[in-house]
Chain A
Amino acid sequence: MLRLKNINTYYGKVHALKNVSLHLAEGEIVTLIGANGAGKTTILNTISGVTPAAAGELQFNKETISALAPDRIVKLGISQVPEGRQVFKPLSVEDNLELGAYLRYRNREGKDTIHKDMEQIFTLFPRLEERRRQLAGTMSGGEQQMLAIGRALMAKPRMLLLDEPSMGLAPLVVQEIFKVLAQLRQEHGTTILLVEQNAKAALKLADRGYVLETGKVILEGQADELLENAEVKRAYLGKDKKEIWER
């Protein structure tokens, strides 16, 4: 469904992605793991058109989409839930969700269907319904994360890119959010590309994973294999350390 071929992206002079190739099949959940600065966020932003690739090819359903602006990418059905949630804080929860459906409004989709979808988001995240008229900036981090995901879903994406949805959240909230992601795939067949620091949780949810280091893919494989991989365990799951400490 989505394919990156030898993508190279620069931030000014910094070579952030070096010949990155990866793919996602329809309905898959794939996770990118790696340390800070490994290029995980850059991959998502390159896909979304925020930091376009300098070289390489980006394909979505066999079409080249390398040079499209962010709004065009959303139009194709790829929505990103950005790092740090980035909800529109001065706007209400409802307004945030409505704006998630901005392109559907522009396509003259009726307000009724859009509001019906909003109700669906509320069944997914009942806490948002309680706060529907509240300003987004007054909510807790977990609620803002739910809103950010809800906002992205309002565009009815076929593929969802999530950038560290668990960052700074309580374990219970993280569980709730990951449960929703699994549910989305099951009920709507949404393809998900998940960037996470919390490698263990991400690999448990995902089908496959890619491990990144300083802008390069150094390892890829089935999620359960990666979970058992000695290198991954040592570097990202913190297993060895714990064992040494316990000994």
Chain B
Amino acid sequence: MQFDQILQYTLSGLSTGAIYALIGIGFSIIYNSTGIINFAQGEFVMLGGMLTLFFIGVLKLPIWAAMPCAVLVSALGGLLFERLAIRPLRQPTPINIVIITIGGRILIRGLAMLLWGKDTHSLPPFSGDDPIAIGGATILPQHLWILAITVVIIAANKFFFYHTISGKAMRACSYNSRAAGLVGIDVRRMVLFSFVISSAMGAVAGIIVAPLTMTAYDVGVMLGLKGFCAAIIGGMSSGVATVVGGLILGVLESLGAGLISSGYKDAIAFIILLLILFIRPQGLFGKAESERV
């Protein structure tokens, strides 16, 4: 029985972990190209879910059309955020940027509350509610959707950053933006791209998790922090390390909630965050970078 329970917690932990991973990669992409921790990242997760509901409920779109629309609008939101709030900063100091992204987050959340109210909503699952038995545990079809979509997005991400000229240019910018400018890469455009990609990924995370956890104007706060935590565990990598970070976080959280007490669910994430920051600030898999001249 104990084993079944652990399996159950692990499986559901993996799917929430996948969500954290997607959000965390969003944090990392922006961090790597600008050095900014975008604290507004979580709000794009919220926008994904809420906009999907809006498109279904108000504009009467079918769910398969509402989802891409919600992602597009969120990506547009990320674009506007960069253009209006980040780019105008002439000589930004870290504290300026932290305050601005937190301000952006309060603004987006406030607008969402005014538009859609304070109610909690749920999105219908993508394909039914019938649980699937795996060993002694059961999972919902939505869990599988989450895992599958996460895998697809991460693979697409990897392809983009490693096999397309724009992706390589973004990596070049994140490594050395001055040299990138000197080969003709428009650095500001790459920064803009990074905000667009991150907000789109956040929105996807928000959409696929909404059928499981419900959504409301304020879900971005907690999901954003969990995603940040995943990114920290992964050492702000925009690749596998953050995915593993997210999965570890999801599983530990789920095991902790199940075996200790569900009241501690969120505390566990933040204890991990603090431990990592104290003990291994370069991330679980990071190593101090060595320079060769």
Contact yes or no, A82 B293, CB < 8 A: no
Q: Is B182 a contact partner of A99 (Cβ separation < 8 A)?
A: no
A82–B182 contact, CB under 8 A? yes
Q: Is the CB of A102 within 8 A of B169?
A: yes
Query: Across the interface, do B183 and A91 meet the contact criterion of CB distance under 8 Å?
Result: no
Residue A221 at the chain B interface, CB threshold 8 Å: no
Q: A89-B175, A138-B292 are in contact. Are A69 and B168 (CB under 8 A)?
A: no
Q: Does B133 contact A (CB under 8 A)?
A: no
Nearest B residue to A90, CB-CB: B175
A115 → B minimal CB distance (Å) = 12
Task: State whether A168 touches B183 (Cβ < 8 A).
Answer: no
The answer on a CB contact under 8 Å between A99 and B186 is no
Residue of A nearest to B165 (CB): A105
Measured between beta carbons, the chain A residues less than 8 angstroms from B292 are 89, 137-138
- Are B181 and A71 neighbours in the complex by a CB distance under 8 Å? yes
B106 close to chain A: CB less than 8 A: no
Taking the closest CB of chain A, its distance from the CB of B282, in whole angstroms, is 16
The answer to whether the Cβ of B184 comes within 8 Å of any Cβ in the partner chain is yes
Partner of B181, one of A69, A91, A151: A69
For the complex formed, measure the closest distance between the CB of B148 and the CB atoms of chain A, giving whole angstroms: 30
Question: Beyond A74-B182, A99-B183, A100-B183, is A90–B171 a contact (Cβ under 8 Å)?
Answer: yes
On whether the beta carbons of A71 and B186 are closer than 8 Å, the reply is yes
Chain B contacts for A103, CB-based, 8 A: 184
State in angstroms the CA–CA spacing of A1 and B292 once bound together: 37
| Segment 35-92 of A: residues with Cβ below 8 Å from B | 48-50, 69-71, 74-75, 79-80, 82, 84, 86-91
Chief secondary structure at chain B's binding surface: helix
Contacts known (A99-B165, A102-B165, A141-B293); A74 close to B184, Cβ less than 8 A: yes
Provided the pairs A91-B171, A91-B172, A137-B292 are in contact, do residues A70 and B165 lie with their beta carbons within 8 angstroms? no
- In Å, the complex CA distance between A82 and B182 comes to 8
List B residues 174-222 near A (Cβ within 8 Å).
175-176, 178-187
A97 to chain B, nearest CB (A): 10
Q: Contact partner of A99 among B178, B185, B187, CB < 8 A?
A: B185
Distance in Å: Cβ of B35 to nearest Cβ of chain A = 16
**Would you call B172 and A88 a contact (CB within 8 A)?**
yes
- Chain B residues near A137 (CB, 8 Å)? 292
B252 to chain A, nearest CB (A): 30
Question: At the interface, yes or no: A98 with Cβ under 8 Å from chain B?
Answer: yes
Contacts of B185 in A (CB 8 A): 71, 99, 102
Complex alpha-carbon distance, A80 and B183, angstroms: 8
Q: Please determine whether B176 and A99 come into contact, CB atoms closer than 8 angstroms.
A: no
Contact indicator B175/A71 (Cβ below 8 Å): no
Contact (Cβ within 8 A) B179 A91: no
Asked if residues A82 and B172 are in contact (CB atoms below 8 Å), the reply is: no
| A95 proximal to B (CB < 8 A) | yes
The yes or no answer to A192 lying at the interface (CB within 8 A) is no
Contacts of B168 in A (CB 8 A): 91, 95, 98-99
Which residues on B sit within 8 Å (CB–CB) of A151?
183
A-B contact pairs, 13 of them (CB 8 A): A69-B186, A70-B184, A71-B185, A74-B182, A74-B183, A80-B182, A82-B178, A89-B292, A90-B175, A95-B168, A99-B183, A105-B165, A151-B183
**Apart from A84-B293, A155-B184, what 10 extra A-B contacts exist at CB < 8 Å?**
A49-B181, A50-B181, A69-B186, A70-B181, A70-B184, A74-B183, A74-B184, A90-B175, A91-B172, A137-B292
Q: Which 4 pairs show the lowest CB-CB distances between chains A and B? A: A74-B184, A70-B181, A86-B179, A103-B184
